[in-house]
Amino acid sequence: MSKLTSTLLYSLTGAAAIAALPSCKANKQAEAPKKMNILYIMSDDHSYQTISAYDQRYIHTPNIDRIGNEGVRFTNSFVANSISGPSRACMLTGKHSHANGFINNSTTFNGDQLTFPKLLQQNGYQTAMIGKWHLVSDPQGFDHWEILPGQGDYYNPTFIQMNGEKVQVEGYATNIITDKAIDWIENQRDESKPFCMLLHHKAPHRTWMPDTCDLELFSDSNFPVPETFYDNYEGRLAAQQQGMSIAKDMSIVYDLKMADRENELHSAYEGWGREMYRQRMRPDVQAAWDRHYDPVIADFKARNLSGNELAEWKFQQYMRDYLRVITSVDRNIGRVLDYLEEKGMLENTMIVYTSDQGFYMGEHGWFDKRFMYEESLSTPLLMRLPDGYKRRGEITDMVQNIDYAPTFLEMAGVKVPSDIQGKSLVPLLKGEKTIGKWRDAIYYHFHEYPAEHAVKRHYGVRTERYKLIHFYNDIDTWELYDLQEDPTEMKNVYDDPAYAKVRKQMHKKLEQMQKMYKDPIAK
């Protein structure tokens, strides 16, 4: 809502005016406090493992860390559906996928339904959406939007404008999205209104294409292979049948950029792999890529790797490119933070950094997401809070991306609709005691099968210690994990007699949550 001021007009003359002045001064109402701005930054497929505020094994991310260091860092932050479009719909609506209708990436988001940007717009906020949208339908509830079509491109990306026009912009996507966001705040918004901006990066989505200035980063780095990298998936049928293995499914040409000039290397998606590195790059960018990747290709061919040696080479190459892309994301977030600080806007702006879900960095031998296992269920969530919110440091309560909408609305002074399924995080951000009031479990439901990576449909419930998962549709299998004793989820204890009581309790909790959220799959 726009800042409102009230001015009382008096018609005063002579002595009456003089007599009125002291009283007028004494009773002058304080100016209404400025409503906070909201900057919601989301990257695509950014794992918490590659943010140094969470994990320092791989990379230093000083600018993302700054958000948490100057605010709060959630350590039990989860998604409701670990796949891009549905996760974004959950975030916008504050509802699970079955309730907002966008259950998988083959569907179309119903933009006519209520979202938090619409409600903020209706209550005086100026709203903007810039970057990756990935919901098929055009954005609604925004005064300004510029979005990438589909997944978008890293180099010389095309943007869809509000008038439907498609405009190709020269440069690197992460830089361009940041440029557009800063330009809108600086030159296009109505400064009399608070703003809510969704700044959504394409990066670091597959195929992890770095900016040219970052191509040599991490070239000499060798990263620790996760302890579960050679998982054989014993007792976990769905995990045995997936198609997201680094060793088996990650494409040499497409994912790892081994598009040799001699056409001697072959792998899945080879045609796309050979095409995409040329079709949108300027000659100078192509030259930079050739200087970097040609020696890598030559070395790879000379090694003639196979078996575990090939799998671990692919892992290292994947990590290097992924972290190069993250470096660009972090650098650009620093640009935004510095801009807001320079303009004196930092203290009145809520800044959120998150991802649309977690991602596998070789754990269980995988890349991608989808499963309810911890690496893809968990998502980073860091918040720099506006003036008036004193909470700092780590928040360990279980939160979910359906909680973002009611949180933004409550903090903006907007009534939260009764059908929103998420919970406002405001009590946690204020440091209020939540014993007996906060959730003791989260609910998850993944719907996208059959589809790429072949992850079976499944739903489940997670408490602080235990996780129950049911894989269904063309499969019928249950999994139970003791996260305290088995944090890497290597041992399914569903049929272990020692966990019979826990199994019964978790089934009861699952049924309760399915009924509470009105998931149609509930019996």
Question: Residues 185-233: pLDDT tens digits?
Answer: 999 999 999 999 999 999 999 999 999 999 999 999 999 999 999 999 9
Residue span of the structural domain in which 493 resides: 457-516
* 225 within domain boundaries: no
pLDDT in tens, 163-179: 999 999 999 999 999 99
Q: What integer best gives the mean pLDDT of the chain? A: 93
Domains in the chain: how many in total? 3
For the segment 147-167, the average pLDDT, to the nearest whole number, is 97
Q: Is the pLDDT assigned to residue 26 strictly greater than 70?
A: no
Say yes or no: 193 and 49 in one domain.
yes
Q: Which of 155, 182, 196 is CA-nearest to residue 283? A: 155
499 pLDDT exceeds 50?
yes
Query: pLDDT value at position 326?
Result: 98
Q: How far apart are CA 275 and CA 325, in angstroms?
A: 20
**Residue that terminates a domain, selected from 377, 406, 440:** 440
Under a CB-based contact definition with an 8 Å cutoff, are residues 170 and 217 in contact? no
| Per-residue tokens: 162 | 């509000």
- For residues 113 and 99, what is the distance between their CA atoms, to the nearest angstrom? 11
Q: Do both 154 and 196 map to the same domain? A: yes
What tokens appear for 495 in the block?
A: 């049929």
Specify the CATH number for the domain of residue 168: 3.40.720.10
Residues 217 and 323: beta-carbon distance below 8 Å? yes
42 in a domain, yes or no?
Answer: yes
The answer to the question of residue 224 being in a domain is no
Residue 15 lies in a domain: no
C-alpha span between 42 and 57 (Å, rounded): 22
Grade residue 31 by pLDDT with cuts at 50, 70 and 90: low
- Provide mean pLDDT across the span 246-261: 96
Q: What is the pLDDT of residue 15?
A: 34
Classify each residue of 444-453 as buried b or exposed e, where b means 16 or more C-beta atoms within 10 Å of its C-beta. bbbbbbeeeb
C-alpha dist (Å) from residue 163 to 144, 166, 178, 185: 11, 9, 21, 20
Q: How many CB atoms lie within 10 A of CB 382?
A: 25
- 3-state secondary structure (DSSP) of residue 227: coil
Which residue among 292, 318, 344 closes a domain? Answer: 318
The closest alpha carbon to 2, from 40, 30, 34, belongs to 34
Domain for residue 487, yes or no? yes
Strands (E), 366-496: 381-384, 393-395, 399-400, 442-446, 458-462, 466-471, 477-482
* 339 and 190 share one domain: yes
Confidence of residue 17 (pLDDT cuts 50, 70, 90): very low
3-class DSSP state for residue 469?
strand
Which residues, 6+ apart, have CB-to-CB distance to 360 below 8 Å? 47, 244, 366, 367, 368, 369, 375, 376
Across the beta sheet with 466-471, the strand order is 442-446, 458-462, 466-471, 477-482
Instruction: Report how far apart, in Å, the C-alpha atoms of 89 and of each of 98, 355, 431 are.
Output: 11, 13, 28
Length of the chain: 523
Report the percentage of the chain scoring pLDDT > 70: 93
Q: Are residues 270 and 121 in the same domain?
A: no
Q: Which residue is listed with tokens 């809520």?
A: 350
Q: What percent of the chain has pLDDT over 90?
A: 90
**Whole-number pLDDT of residue 339:** 98
| Sheet bearing 393-395, strands edge to edge | 166-168, 158-160, 144-148, 126-132, 195-200, 37-43, 349-355, 381-384, 72-74, 393-395
Q: pLDDT tens digits, residue range 311-333?
A: 999 999 999 999 999 999 999 99
Instruction: Indicate the pTM of the whole model.
Output: 0.93
Q: How far is CA 287 from the centre of its chain?
A: 32
- Give the SS3 label for residue 73: strand
Domain-embedded: residue 355:
yes
Q: What is the pLDDT of residues 380-416, one digit of tens each?
A: 999 999 998 989 999 999 999 999 999 999 999 999 9
Looking at the structure, do residues 147 and 59 belong to the same domain, yes or no?
yes
Band of the pLDDT at 434, cuts 50, 70, 90? low
Q: What number of other Cβ atoms are within 10 A of residue 368's Cβ? A: 23
The two structure tokens encoding residue 128: 């903007």
Mean pLDDT score, 439-447? 97
Q: What is the CATH number of the domain that holds 467?
A: 3.30.1120.10
Q: Are residues 461 and 430 in the same domain?
A: no
* Within-domain flag for 222: no
Both 266 and 193 in one domain: the answer is no
- pLDDT tens per residue, range 102-128: 999 999 999 999 999 999 999 999 999
Higher-confidence residue: 432 or 273?
A: 273
Please tell me whether residues 67 and 122 are part of one structural domain: yes
Q: Give the per-residue pLDDT at 277.
A: 74
pLDDT single digits (tens) 46-72: 999 999 999 999 999 999 999 999 999
| DSSP track, 111-172 | TTS--HHHHHHHTT-EEEEEEE--SSSPP-S-SEEEEESTT--SBS-EEE-TTS-EEE--SB
User: Is the same domain home to 163 and 306?
Assistant: no
Is residue 203 located within the same domain as residue 350? Answer: yes
Supply 316's token pair.
């290292």
Which of residues 318, 350, 382 is at a domain's end? 318
pLDDT at 435 over 90: no
Q: Do residue 47 and residue 157 come from a single domain?
A: yes
Contact 356, 84 (CB under 8 A): yes
Rounded Cα distance between 448 and 454, Å, is: 9
Same-domain pairing of 276 and 390 = no
Which residues sit opposite 168 in a β-bridge?
158
Is 13 within a domain?
A: no
**473-477 average pLDDT score:** 96
